């Protein structure tokens, strides 16, 4: 492969880079990349111009002259022509089976919509599946509820009831925490004014107590038994579609951060068929109701690990089940406000036209796991060698998670457990050093660190001082906290390079509406190098996979990507334009750009 050089890259600085050679094995390399700019993410050998690969692993990282010793008659030599190569991205938090399914469903595409636009798009989905009238369920996905226009627009079932259909209709928020249902769907689910809210969910109601159609978190579960279940064949198709999208983005490893057994089964089937093109890590969920019996909850996860985890990782991609997911709260964004906050959300005691925001009393729902069962579950997971992965959106939930980790560390001192906190959209500054002390790893969705409907929509509920702290990647990094990256796909579109740009700039796209321009909050953001490290070695460490992946180092699996530009040196506003030219997993080329 010969790639054209489109920009002069500073290869000369690599001349003094010390070569690094694997000690195991001899003989020529299968594949050599040379004449490039190689960002290794290896502290001992940070830069190079050449990489040699044998049997799916890296055997050499250094200069071109050193790589020549690995050339044999069957060696494939790739001239990078000054291009940039780096480790494959490790996405430390996504929902790939759901994402694959959504790629195959009618979608609102995360667009900002007015009510008339919203209704026209939904009607289009109804018309496109008219053969399902009058009783076939319709699910529509990727609704960016927080970005409805104008800002603050509230929705209810009447918007759906006005459309031309008799079918039960569900609109799924892209955040995954909210569903809007029409009256037919509510009736089939037997949701009425007398239906109580679940402990870890909310049914929005009108002045008479009747459901409005908006359901939060566990309140959505009433539809699970009514919807037709995806078939195993459909799940295989969805998993394959997800992998297609991943390799084009340069993702070589992922964590399914809410892994149903169907997801593990589907990706395992692809792996056994030789079609797994990214390393799959899976975190089964422990539900809040399981807190009444922590030992049984941990035993269930251990049983899944015993059944599906494939043991020691090899150069070829495989399957691990060594994480467990717990939800401690919902989302801080309006109108849900289901994130647990240390200080209550503010409230409007004026009118919509003449608002007057004052201190409120609502902290959001209580943390879904009380302190004692949370500590017991975390301790049980640690003793089983399973890393906990906790969803915490609000600073109250983050604080509760740290308390649980402290109890875990005290009960199981010295255990190599790497607890993760997903999202951490706001963290009490006093908890920054506590995160570092307990070794907790915030897995952050960088693309949220910009002015947008979801972040600015919470501004009146937070007030100016708390808004300075929102999306604290830079604050946490400056405090010495190890951070990782997770896209949370399909909560957002899968666009890793836009997310990395936002981590650096904390701004939205240039053509965003005027109210969404400028920087978000007071956080300083990350350097390009820090953002790339979080999306490689940071997530690899969180997944306990750093001995195999996360850097281009001799002995590690040859997971690497070739890019059309150097994201460390291009103007920050061009990082999002990065195009992946080639993705390699375990020494095998799994993607080549057209």
Q: What is the DSSP string of 541-567?
A: HHTT-TTTSSS--TTSB--EEEESS-T
**Strand order across the 201-205 sheet:** 138-143, 169-173, 178-181, 211-217, 201-205
Taking CA atoms, 65 is separated from 13, 31, 68, 273, in Å, by 15, 15, 5, 39
3-state SS class at 111: coil
**pLDDT in the model for residue 489:** 96
Residues 359 and 273: their CA atoms lie apart, in Å, by 58
* Segments of the chain with pLDDT less than 50: 1-18, 22-25
| Spatial distance between the Cα atoms of 452 and 536, rounded to a whole number of angstroms | 26
**Does the CA dihedral 132-133-136-142 come out positive or negative?**
positive
CA 97 from centre of chain:
13
How many helices (DSSP H) and strands (DSSP E) are in the chain?
18, 27
| Contact by Cβ (8 Å): 558, 493 | no
Residue 418 and residue 412: Cα distance in Å, rounded?
Answer: 13
pLDDT at 21: 54
Say how far apart CA 197 and CA 584 lie, in whole Å: 48
Residues 197 and 195: their CA atoms lie apart, in Å, by 7
Cα 511 → chain centroid: 25
**Whole-number pLDDT of residue 6:** 29
Q: Answer for the pair 274, 505: CB distance below 8 angstroms, yes or no.
A: no
* Predicted local distance difference test score (pLDDT) of residue 327: 97
Joined tokens for residue 575: 């990082």
Residue whose entry in the numeric block shows the structure tokens 């004449």 = 35
Tell whether omega for the bond before 393 is within 30 degrees of 0, i.e. cis. no
pLDDT at 28: 96
Rounded to two decimals, the pTM is 0.86
Q: For the chain, what are the domain ranges? A: 12-88+555-592, 100-223
- The whole-angstrom distance between residue 431's C-alpha and the CA centroid of its chain comes to 23
- Asked if residues 316 and 273 have their Cβ atoms less than 8 Å apart, the reply is no
CATH level 2 (architecture), domain 100-223 = Roll (3.10)
Cα(371)–Cα(389) distance, integer angstroms: 16
Domain 12-88+555-592 has CATH 2.30.40.10: yes
Whether the CB-CB separation of 61 and 48 falls below 8 Å is answered with yes
């Amino acid at each position: 492969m010969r790639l054209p050089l489109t920009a002069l890259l500073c290869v000369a600085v690599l001349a003094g880079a010390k070569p690094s050679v694997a000690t195991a094995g001899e003989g020529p390399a299968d594949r050599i990349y040379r004449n490039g700019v190689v960002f290794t993410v290896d502290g001992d050998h940070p830069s190079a111009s050449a990489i040699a690969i044998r049997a799916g692993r890296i055997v050499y990282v250094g200069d071109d002259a050193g790589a020549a010793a690995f050339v044999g008659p069957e060696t494939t030599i790739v001239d990078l022509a000054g291009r940039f190569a780096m480790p494959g991205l490790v996405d430390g938090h996504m929902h790939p089976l759901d994402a694959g399914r959504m790629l195959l469903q009618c979608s609102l595409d995360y667009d900002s919509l007015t009510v008339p636009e919203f209704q026209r798009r939904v009607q289009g989905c109804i018309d496109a599946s008219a053969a399902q009238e009058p009783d076939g369920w319709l699910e529509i996905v990727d609704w960016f509820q927080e970005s409805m226009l104008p800002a603050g627009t509230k929705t209810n079932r009447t918007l759906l009831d006005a459309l031309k259909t008799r079918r039960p209709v569900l609109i799924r928020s892209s955040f995954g925490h909210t569903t809007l249902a029409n009256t037919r769907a509510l009736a089939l689910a037997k949701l009425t004014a007398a239906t109580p809210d679940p402990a870890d969910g909310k049914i929005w109601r009108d002045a008479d107590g009747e459901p409005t159609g908006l359901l939060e978190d566990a309140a959505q579960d009433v539809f699970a038994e009514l919807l037709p279940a995806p078939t195993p064949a459909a799940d295989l198709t969805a998993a394959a579609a997800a992998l297609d999208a991943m390799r084009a983005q340069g993702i070589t490893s992922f964590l399914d951060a809410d892994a149903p057994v169907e997801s593990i089964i589907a990706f395992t089937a692809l792996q056994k068929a030789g079609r797994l093109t990214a390393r799959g890590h899976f975190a089964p969920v422990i539900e809040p109701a399981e807190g009444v019996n922590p030992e049984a909850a941990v035993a269930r996860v251990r049983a899944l690990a015993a059944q599906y985890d494939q043991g020691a990782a090899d150069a070829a991609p495989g399957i691990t089940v060594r994480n467990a997911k717990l939800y401690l709260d919902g989302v801080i964004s309006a109108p849900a406000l289901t994130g647990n906050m240390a200080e209550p959300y503010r409230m409007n005691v004026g009118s919509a036209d003449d608002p007057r925001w004052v201190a409120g009393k609502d902290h959001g729902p209580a943390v879904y796991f009380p302190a004692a069962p949370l500590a017991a579950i975390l301790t049980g997971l640690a003793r089983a060698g399973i890393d906990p992965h906790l969803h915490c959106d609000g600073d109250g939930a983050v604080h509760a998670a740290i308390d649980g980790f402290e109890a875990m560390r005290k009960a199981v001192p010295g255990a190599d457990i790497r607890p993760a906190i997903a999202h951490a959209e706001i963290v009490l500054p006093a908890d920054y050093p506590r995160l570092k002390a307990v070794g907790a790893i915030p897995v952050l969705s960088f693309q949220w660190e910009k002015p947008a409907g979801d972040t600015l929509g919470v501004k009146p509920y937070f007030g100016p001082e708390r808004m300075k702290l929102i999306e604290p990647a830079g604050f946490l990094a400056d405090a010495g906290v190890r951070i990782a990256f997770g896209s949370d796909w399909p909560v957002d579109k899968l666009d890793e390079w836009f997310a990395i740009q936002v981590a650096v700039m904390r701004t939205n796209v240039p053509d965003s509406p005027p109210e969404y321009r400028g920087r978000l909050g007071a956080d300083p953001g990350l350097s390009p190098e820090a953002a790339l490290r979080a999306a490689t070695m940071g997530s690899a460490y969180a997944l306990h996979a750093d001995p195999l992946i996360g850097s281009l180092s001799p002995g590690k699996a040859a997971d690497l990507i070739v890019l059309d530009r150097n994201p460390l040196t291009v103007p920050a506003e061009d990082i999002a334009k990065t195009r992946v030219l080639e993705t390699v997993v375990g020494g095998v080329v799994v993607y080549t750009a057209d």
